[in-house]
Chain A
Amino acid sequence: MNVLELKNVTKKFGDFIAVDQMNLFIKEGEIFGFLGSNGAGKSTTINLISSLLRLSAGDIYLLGKNIAQHRRFAKMNIGIVPQDIAIYEELSAYENVRFFAGLYGLRGTELKKHSEEALVFVGLGDKMNALPKTFSGGMKRRLNIACAIAHRPKLIIMDEPTVGIDPQSRKYILQSVRQLNEMGCTIIYTTHYMEEVEEICSRIAIVDHGKIIAEGTKEQLTNIITDTKEVWIEVKAIGSFDAEVVKQMKGVNSVRVEEHVVQIISQAEVTNLHEILHYMISQSLEIVSLKEQAPNLESVFLTLTGRNLRD
């Protein structure tokens, strides 16, 4: 069954089209990755699904019901982890979770139990009565998640839940996402970190300019790019290397420099390696290693959008 279905969903802010006739379905039990660079329209789409914004056109169905007509039903079954941490600093972790869960009709012992369980689940069981002021970034992110899950929603939407936190908290959060999924929750996961998507998502959509430009499993997506190849050239020092020069060479789609590694994507049928190497040697770059790279999500993204996922 489809937990969520978007049909021609459009959102305009004045003349600007933030989400452009988006079609999408998400099946029960999926961890669905939502990839897109800054301003692609991810958060806007999430705000539409959660009824925070009004649709300009199109329809959204949650568990088969149109959310415009069944707003309360939809809201009850969705949990949102906002991109920006949304908690009350002056209330304890427990008071935060309890307040938000209370808005979903939970009362009394049930409210208490659900709130406590949510906090234990994100690993804040021993910090229930502490104020978030005293929390690290990672702990605040985890509280941000606890506030979204205490009412036990069927669909949990996480908008970049791991921004700016330590590796340990990140690991914890990814593990929690998997655990929630095993407990029966369907999850939409938005991120700028490709490795997170590769690690946990069963299906992925790439969003650009408010449109979904590709969608499928990791394998399906990487198979899209049979027409390109990627080489990684490691040099001792990057020195006077100019990516723009290489970009002008025949067949080259994109060039990316990450520390000492130059990553070049070019059309599969064009042979240009000798030209590239010639340029690098002429710039007195000492080449350490050279390898052909199998296409990964990062290169798919780069090929499709012409941009890096992270600026």
Chain B
Amino acid sequence: MNIITISKQTMLLLLREPKSFLFMLAFPLVMMLILGSALGSAFNEKVDIGTLRVGYHVEGSPQVKAAFTQFMKATVQDVRYQEVTTTAKGKNDVKLGNRDGYVEVNDQGVHYYKSEQTTIQSSVIEGMLAAFADRYHLAKEIGLSGVKDEVANVVSEESLTAKKAPRSMDYYGVVVTTMITLYSAIGASFLLRGERTRNTAIRLGVAPISKGEIFLGKIIGSVLMNSGIIAVLMIVGSLLFHVNWGEHLGYVILVLLSQIVFAVSVGVGVSYVVATGEGARSLLLILIQVASFFGGAYFKIDHPEGFMNILVHLSPLQWANSAILSVIYNDQLSAILPVISLNIGLAALFLTFSAVTFRKREGF
């Protein structure tokens, strides 16, 4: 009963703090809009950003060449492409300001070298290329009848969607949502510390309730609240941007829920390691942003190699994203088991550590 009182209270406190609440809703929606819709629409409707000058060099299999040719055709209204013979020359032209960017395409992937001066144009190209790489790669991954067939359709929105590959909005809709689950950690790092800074820890401490009830109540309240935010985000994302969450929504929700539990536990754990609230917040922000970067929240990282590969697979976002995308686009339901076990296992570690520290500490 006391646990319910505490968790209700925790949710009420979070609700009354509209700043962080709004951040967790508005920020991802804006991000989806920019990353998903602006970039996706480059394939359908024309975005007027002036004509861009881009150098390119293509190597590798005929499929890749054909795909890129298709891509250029589809974007020729916005971009003036010029073939360049060597990498050095391509990069140099950009440096001198003769071109807005330089693209190199081969079997390993797409490399983009961008100008520092024309950042808006550059990022538009970058986004289009990311979407191109996405589609090409994902289509291969899910094993459509033949790569050749797929490549021919690379710019045709409908035929691809019908064959279950994410539009860029679908991709960003998913990864930005999983990214936001990680931000639960920041609020969580203030769950117990916040009671200390308000002095209300004294009142909780003198009340006839146990520390265990306080601890559990706080954690449960925070998990519920963040789940609510994620649910709203998924609904709004579906309504506004038609983000595809697939046919196995329950499985996707389980992954997201485990991710929230994981993030909240990390947040609470960090608050018991780092001395100050601001310190804990900064550390968590850095961790979240690194995880987001390597987890593909900002742009998809295909075929990472070497050290990069290790980093990518260390990102909690990457685990969740690949599991969720497998569920949505591959019907691979078993993909959620390893992620959920990992999330819950790590959460248990962090929570045990925090609970023991909390228990040992006199007062709060």
B363 at the interface (CB under 8 A from A): yes
Interface segment, one of A94-102, A180-188, A218-226, A282-290? A94-102
- Chain B residues closer than 8 Å to A72, beta-carbon distance: 208
- Chain B residues closer than 8 Å to A54, beta-carbon distance: 362
B204 at the interface (CB under 8 A from A): yes
- Chain B residues closer than 8 Å to A105, beta-carbon distance: 208
Q: Is the CB of A80 within 8 A of B199?
A: no
B13 at the interface (CB under 8 A from A): yes
Q: Is the CB of B13 within 8 A of A91?
A: yes
Prevailing SS type, chain B contact patch: helix
- Chain B residues closer than 8 Å to A88, beta-carbon distance: 13, 198, 200
Q: Is the CB of B200 within 8 A of A86?
A: yes
Chain B nearest CB, measured from A114 CB (Å): 14
B144 at the interface (CB under 8 A from A): no
Q: Is the CB of B362 within 8 A of A53?
A: yes
Q: Which chain A residues (85-123) contact chain B, with CB distance < 8 Å?
A: 85-91, 95, 99-100, 102-105
- A52 with B363: in contact, given A75-B206, A86-B203 (CB under 8 Å)? yes
Q: Which chain B residues (178-214) contact chain A, with CB distance < 8 Å?
A: 198-209
CA distance A95 to B15 in the complex (A): 14
Q: Is the CB of B199 within 8 A of A84?
A: yes
B149 at the interface (CB under 8 A from A): no
Q: Is the CB of B205 within 8 A of A52?
A: yes
Q: Is the CB of A90 within 8 A of B13?
A: yes
- Chain B residues closer than 8 Å to A89, beta-carbon distance: 198
Chain B nearest CB, measured from A192 CB (Å): 19
Q: Is the CB of A90 within 8 A of B17?
A: yes
Q: Which chain A residues (54-75) contact chain B, with CB distance < 8 Å?
A: 54, 71-72, 75
Q: Is the CB of B5 within 8 A of A103?
A: yes
Prevailing SS type, chain A contact patch: loop
Q: Is the CB of B207 within 8 A of A100?
A: yes
Chain B nearest CB, measured from A168 CB (Å): 24
A78 at the interface (CB under 8 A from B): yes
Of B16, B207, B209, the most chain A CB neighbours within 10 A belong to: B207
Q: Is the CB of B208 within 8 A of A95?
A: no
Of A78, A86, A95, A147, the most chain B CB neighbours within 10 A belong to: A86
A263 at the interface (CB under 8 A from B): no
- Chain B residues closer than 8 Å to A50, beta-carbon distance: 205-206
Chain B nearest CB, measured from A104 CB (Å): 6
Residue of B nearest to A73 (CB): B208
Q: Is the CB of B12 within 8 A of A95?
A: yes
Q: Is the CB of B5 within 8 A of A53?
A: no
- Chain B residues closer than 8 Å to A95, beta-carbon distance: 12
- Chain A residues closer than 8 Å to B16, beta-carbon distance: 90-91
Q: Which chain B residues (342-364) contact chain A, with CB distance < 8 Å?
A: 362-363
Chain B nearest CB, measured from A246 CB (Å): 43
Chain A nearest CB, measured from B189 CB (Å): 18
Q: Is the CB of A75 within 8 A of B362?
A: no
- Chain B residues closer than 8 Å to A90, beta-carbon distance: 13, 16-17
B69 at the interface (CB under 8 A from A): no
Q: Is the CB of A86 within 8 A of B199?
A: yes
- Chain B residues closer than 8 Å to A148, beta-carbon distance: 203
Of A54, A85, A103, A105, the most chain B CB neighbours within 10 A belong to: A103
Residue of B nearest to A50 (CB): B206
Chain A nearest CB, measured from B342 CB (Å): 35
Q: Is the CB of A104 within 8 A of B198?
A: no
CA distance A164 to B305 in the complex (A): 64
B108 at the interface (CB under 8 A from A): no
A51 at the interface (CB under 8 A from B): yes
7 more contacts with CB within 8 A, not counting A86-B199, A99-B5, are A75-B206, A86-B198, A86-B202, A86-B203, A99-B9, A103-B209, A148-B203
